[in-house]
Amino acid sequence: MRLENTSAIVTGAASGLGAATAKALAEQGARVFALDLPGAIENAPVVGGVSYVAADVTNAEQVRAAVATASEIGPLRTAVSCAGIGPPGRILSKRGIHDLDMFAKVVNINLVGTFTVMTLAAEAIAQTEPLEHGQRGVIVNTASIAAFDGQIGQVAYSSSKGGVVGMTLPAARDLAQHGIRVNTIAPGIIDTPLLASLGDEVRESLAAGVPFPHRLGQPSEYARLVTMLVEHDYLNGETIRMDGALRMAPR
Residue length, the chain?
Answer: 251
Cβ atoms within 10 A of the Cβ of 241, count? 19
Is 157 considered catalytic here? yes
- Give the separation between CA 105 and CA 99, rounded to whole angstroms: 10
Burial state string for 200-237 with b = 16 or more CB within 10 A and e = fewer than 16: eeebeebbeebeeeeebbebebbbebbbebbeeeeebb
- Give the torsion sign (CA, 109, 222, 120, 11): positive
- Of 52, 157, 222, 234, catalytic: 157
Beta strands 180-187 and 239-242, pairing class: parallel
Residue 179 φ then ψ, to 5°:
75, 30
Q: Which residues are catalytic?
A: 157
